[in-house]
Structure 1
Amino acid sequence: MSALSAVLPILATVVLFLHGLQGFTRELQSCGEPLMRAWLQRLTANRWKGFAVGAVATAVVQSSSAITALTVALVNASLLSFRASLAVLLGANVGTTATAWLVSFQLSGLGPVLIVLGAVMAVLPLRVRTAGRLLFQLGLILFALQLMTAQLHPLREQPWVAAWLAAAADPWLQVLVGMTITALVQSSSVTSGVAIVLVQQGMLPVEAAIAMVIGANVGSCSTALIASAAMGPIARVTAVVNLLFNAVGMLILLPFLVPFARAVAAAVGDPGMAVALAHLTFNLAISALFLPMLGPVGAWAEKWLMRSGHTCRAG
């Protein structure tokens, strides 16, 4: 089996997984974006509510990219204050770990059932059509994971895979890999999902998989940066501060990454769940660090923008 012939089907399953995630997000946005906008505008009166809204909305939509881009757009339109948006973005980082938990529970066997059930419901009248489309996309996500697992399983005995595993053992390199893949595909969910499947198949050490999802956290900030590029200065600063949160958290963790990963793996036992738990723990730690500091961060951003000749609605 050549490397190319083995890798192409795996890449196809990753694309299918990404397509399912994007489809699920689109379906939810098409029927729920006005509600999400209302939530973000009305329920962000304080940082704790904003954090909760960001976490719940991202967990439901299965896309931190969609929530962060929407948040930056609301800040740009002066419909959401700068400081409230930061709490939402911290919550979105926590909410995006829902995909990792979904993959770690190994529910991929439900994929074909949900695809068929969703397809039947989608052709029926009334409101069940929307639910049917959502079930279909969720089934597609799970079915893609099932196919990915099946394609990866035979590769464990290949010599070139063993060589790749030796190189992948460096967690610092895996942080960079996670950042790069996420920035390219614009989805941290894909990176975390693939990392968990690899570790479940014994093709990636737990430490390297955890490093990948930590890197994916930073790579996911690229969506907000790209979305804000054509917007006003306050939107761009919002995206930069979102990157700052994740980058600072990653730099703090990096010297302790290996012992942290080993401690989580020893505590949980199941390697897939260990990756999901480490992902959640990392984002909760970032939130615990920065949520009490949103006032000073907002004040710093105001001074930064004022020096640049702009005004900031940080309230």
Structure 2
Amino acid sequence: MNETLQTLFGLLGGLAIFLYGMNKMSDALQKAAGDKMKRILGFLTKNPVMGVLAGALVTTVLQSSSATTVMIIGFVSAGLISMPQAISVIFGANIGTTMTAQLLAFKLSDYIYPIIFIGFIMYFISKKDKIKQIGMVIFSFGLLFEGIEIMGSVMKPLATSDVFIQLMGQVKDMPILGVALGTVMTLVVQSSSATIAVLQNFASQAGPDGVTSIIGLAGAIPILLGDNIGTTITAVLASIGQSRAAKRVAAAHCTFNITGAAVAFCILPYFAKIVQYISTKGPEVSVISRQIANAHTLFNVTVTLIWLPLIPLMVRWVSWLIKGDRKPVESLGEPKFLDRHVLTQPSAALYLVSREIGNVANLVVDMLQSAKDIVKKSTSTEEQTQLQDLSAGIRELHQKVSEYIVQLYEESKMNDTQSEQAAGLLGVVTTLKRMAIRSNEILSQIHSIMNSGRNLSGIARGELVECFEEIQQFFILAMDAVAYDTPISMEQINKSKAQLRHSQKSFRKAHLKRVQNGECDAGLTDDFNDIIYNMERLVDDCVEIATEAQDNVHFVQRSEVGVILPDTVESEEGLPDGPAGADFSSVNG
């Protein structure tokens, strides 16, 4: 293998180990921190300054501003946080990501293997999950530095390459070329932390004199600015297909980084002097890694301080940039809240599932009302179509909610409580689907009566309407217990069930008595009994939902989500309240 290929493969291999170590450390840190840290961060978005702090803390833990940005875009798209709050968190994320460069500036080459060994032993031997995760953090931290060491070792020969020295000279002489290089590198790798790590290693190679850096701080800063511009592509990609607010957050992220880079580029010589002034002194080749880390931190902190009081201006700018077109009419079967970008945050994802099931429950209330209206009066084609559309929409939503919950099991690490809640909520939405099917069958039975050229008597219609009203009340009682975690006893469930069963039994007897007296057509008995049968199944479905509530299945409230969520949020979209005060979509903690 020739020297060029050996250097290329060594660089790619070291980069792969670095990225793997960073991702594993991020995952382990999240698991070790747990929901307690998330709840603490929940208090940090009540004003922009605290939002910046929240973003910085979360990104320090996640070790990736891109991960934080994608998560925030998902939350904004789902209406969990407002745009000004999201923008302040994005600002903080840019500060938090500089911690990686600061860590890499430490010379830990003599301690890498002991760190890896200690982390491995803790992970391999311990039986406690928390200790295992801490061990994985230490192990991954060592891998991260091992990747840096590999990249550094394979890049040393480049310092003596005439071609490479000439290329670095062009970058130093043409700063715009450095910005372009940094942007392209980050676009390809999709991690500014990784490209800055590569930059720190490149810059740490000594030039021909053995003292000065091969690229120097003035040559490294433009590449650093390009890295900051390139990292915005993740936010842009994450916002594709999302809400208008999510696209505006991505635009704010781009605006922040591009405007900051433009200003820093214009004052490049002065910026470099400030960085040198605040950094440790010594031979350039030994201190430039720290200088780059300090430049990264100084850049993001300064730009944040400039933009922080101008957040309202940023909101107006991105609102003008991403115009609010008229919203198209949505299909009943299209989810309003589910967002795949929050699947890695189980509590937030379950909150969205809860809101979506609240949406389905409101549709069920509307569907029961439509079915009742069809029974109550001479049905019209429009009313029949409405009920069919509602039933189809509920079934389609059930499918999408079910798929989302399955994805949640696949893509996130839920604890036992969250797993039980997810399974329970899946049971609730499945029951709602069955109610849609029952109502559709009732419509089919009414069609059968109409096609026979006969009709139910006014008394029979009244009895069925009364039964529907009792089912509606029972349904709202059961759903309230799930939505708001209100206590419901077996005594209440059995009492409501017995009352409905008694009504349905008495209606059957009353119908047979009318047939006997010649007041009702005997040919309608089968259809009438089929309608009553499906109403009994609707009662069973209500019992099923109430039983889930008794088993401690409830909607996840906003206060349970924890991660960077405020106490109150105004969503761009509201949901209509159901009748009788039913509003299963609010899910307010």
Which of 199, 209, 214 does residue 203 from structure 2 map onto? Answer: 199
Q: Is the 8 A contact 2:28 2:134 kept in 1?
A: no
Q: Is the 8 A contact 1:171 1:258 kept in 2?
A: no
Residue 185 of structure 1 is matched in structure 2 by 189
Residue 102 of structure 1 is matched in structure 2 by 103
> 1:109: Cα distance to partner?
3.0
The alignment's TM-score, normalised by the length of structure 1, stands at: 0.91
Q: Is the 8 A contact 2:59 2:96 kept in 1?
A: yes
Q: Tell me: CA distance 1:224–1:153, structure 2 relative to 1, closer, same or farther (3 Å).
A: same
Aligned partners of 1:109, 1:74: CA distance in 2, in Å?
42
Which of 97, 107, 128 does residue 131 from structure 2 map onto? Answer: 128
The C-alpha deviation readout for 1:167-194, integer Å capped at 9, x for no partner, is: 3323211111111111211111011111
Q: Is the 8 A contact 1:51 1:91 kept in 2?
A: yes
> 1:101: Cα distance to partner?
0.7
Residue 292 of structure 2 is matched in structure 1 by 275
Residue 294 of structure 1 is matched in structure 2 by 311
The C-alpha deviation readout for 1:80-109, integer Å capped at 9, x for no partner, is: 111011110001101111111111122233
> 1:30: Cα distance to partner?
4.3
Q: Is the 8 A contact 1:54 1:67 kept in 2?
A: yes
Q: Tell me: CA distance 1:108–1:211, structure 2 relative to 1, closer, same or farther (3 Å).
A: farther
Aligned-pair RMSD on alpha carbons? 2.3
The C-alpha deviation readout for 1:177-218, integer Å capped at 9, x for no partner, is: 111111211111011111111111233221122221211111
Aligned partners of 2:185, 2:91: CA distance in 1, in Å?
21
Aligned partners of 2:317, 2:150: CA distance in 1, in Å?
48
Q: Which moved more, 1:281-290 or 1:102-111?
A: 102-111
Q: Which moved more, 1:269-278 or 1:80-89?
A: 269-278
The C-alpha deviation readout for 1:120-166, integer Å capped at 9, x for no partner, is: 11122112111111111111001111222222223322223222222
Aligned partners of 1:171, 1:35: CA distance in 2, in Å?
45
> 1:307: Cα distance to partner?
4.1
Q: Which moved more, 1:169-178 or 1:128-137?
A: 169-178
Residue 80 of structure 1 is matched in structure 2 by 81
Output the amino acid matched with 1:285. Answer: T
Q: Tell me: CA distance 1:156–1:309, structure 2 relative to 1, closer, same or farther (3 Å).
A: same
Residue 219 of structure 2 is matched in structure 1 by 208
Unaligned segments of structure 1, at least 5 residues: none
Q: Is the 8 A contact 1:109 1:142 kept in 2?
A: no
Which of 129, 137, 143 does residue 146 from structure 2 map onto? Answer: 143
Equivalent residues in 2 for 1:248-263 (5 A)? 248-263=259-274
Aligned partners of 2:3, 2:42: CA distance in 1, in Å?
53
Aligned partners of 1:40, 1:232: CA distance in 2, in Å?
25
Q: What SS does structure 1 have at the residue aligned with 2:81?
A: coil
Output the amino acid matched with 1:294. Answer: I
Q: What SS does structure 2 have at the residue aligned with 1:42?
A: coil
> 1:27: Cα distance to partner?
2.3
Percent of aligned pairs with the same residue?
A: 28
Output the amino acid matched with 1:48. Answer: V
Q: Is the 8 A contact 2:32 2:134 kept in 1?
A: no
The C-alpha deviation readout for 1:36-81, integer Å capped at 9, x for no partner, is: 6545543201000000011121122211111111111111111111
Aligned partners of 1:189, 1:225: CA distance in 2, in Å?
18
Number of aligned residues: 314
Q: Tell me: CA distance 1:306–1:256, structure 2 relative to 1, closer, same or farther (3 Å).
A: closer
Aligned partners of 1:306, 1:6: CA distance in 2, in Å?
48
Q: What SS does structure 1 have at the residue aligned with 2:267?
A: helix
Q: Which moved more, 1:63-72 or 1:209-218?
A: 209-218
Matched, 1:225 2:226: no
Q: Tell me: CA distance 1:34–1:223, structure 2 relative to 1, closer, same or farther (3 Å).
A: farther
Matched, 1:62 2:63: yes
Q: Which moved more, 1:186-195 or 1:200-209?
A: 200-209
Aligned partners of 2:16, 2:46: CA distance in 1, in Å?
39
Residue 152 of structure 1 is matched in structure 2 by 155
Which protein has the larger Cα radius of gyration, Structure 1 or Structure 2?
2
Aligned partners of 2:245, 2:30: CA distance in 1, in Å?
25
Q: Is the 8 A contact 1:75 1:234 kept in 2?
A: yes
Q: Is the 8 A contact 1:41 1:79 kept in 2?
A: no
Which of 267, 275, 290 does residue 264 from structure 1 map onto? Answer: 275
Residue 578 of structure 2 is matched in structure 1 by none
Residue 111 of structure 1 is matched in structure 2 by 112
Q: Tell me: CA distance 1:162–1:75, structure 2 relative to 1, closer, same or farther (3 Å).
A: same
Q: Tell me: CA distance 1:228–1:71, structure 2 relative to 1, closer, same or farther (3 Å).
A: same
Q: Is the 8 A contact 1:64 1:96 kept in 2?
A: yes
> 1:304: Cα distance to partner?
5.7
> 1:265: Cα distance to partner?
2.7
Aligned partners of 1:8, 1:300: CA distance in 2, in Å?
44
Q: Which moved more, 1:48-57 or 1:155-164?
A: 155-164
Aligned partners of 1:121, 1:38: CA distance in 2, in Å?
27
Output the amino acid matched with 2:104. Answer: V
Residue 47 of structure 2 is matched in structure 1 by 46
Aligned partners of 1:303, 1:192: CA distance in 2, in Å?
33
Residue 355 of structure 2 is matched in structure 1 by none
Aligned partners of 2:43, 2:278: CA distance in 1, in Å?
39
Q: Is the 8 A contact 2:169 2:215 kept in 1?
A: no
Which of 245, 257, 260 does residue 234 from structure 1 map onto? Answer: 245
Q: Which moved more, 1:8-17 or 1:281-290?
A: 8-17
Aligned partners of 1:40, 1:171: CA distance in 2, in Å?
39
Aligned partners of 2:268, 2:68: CA distance in 1, in Å?
28
Aligned partners of 1:302, 1:168: CA distance in 2, in Å?
37
Output the amino acid matched with 2:49. Answer: W
> 1:7: Cα distance to partner?
2.4
Q: What SS does structure 2 have at the residue aligned with 1:308?
A: coil
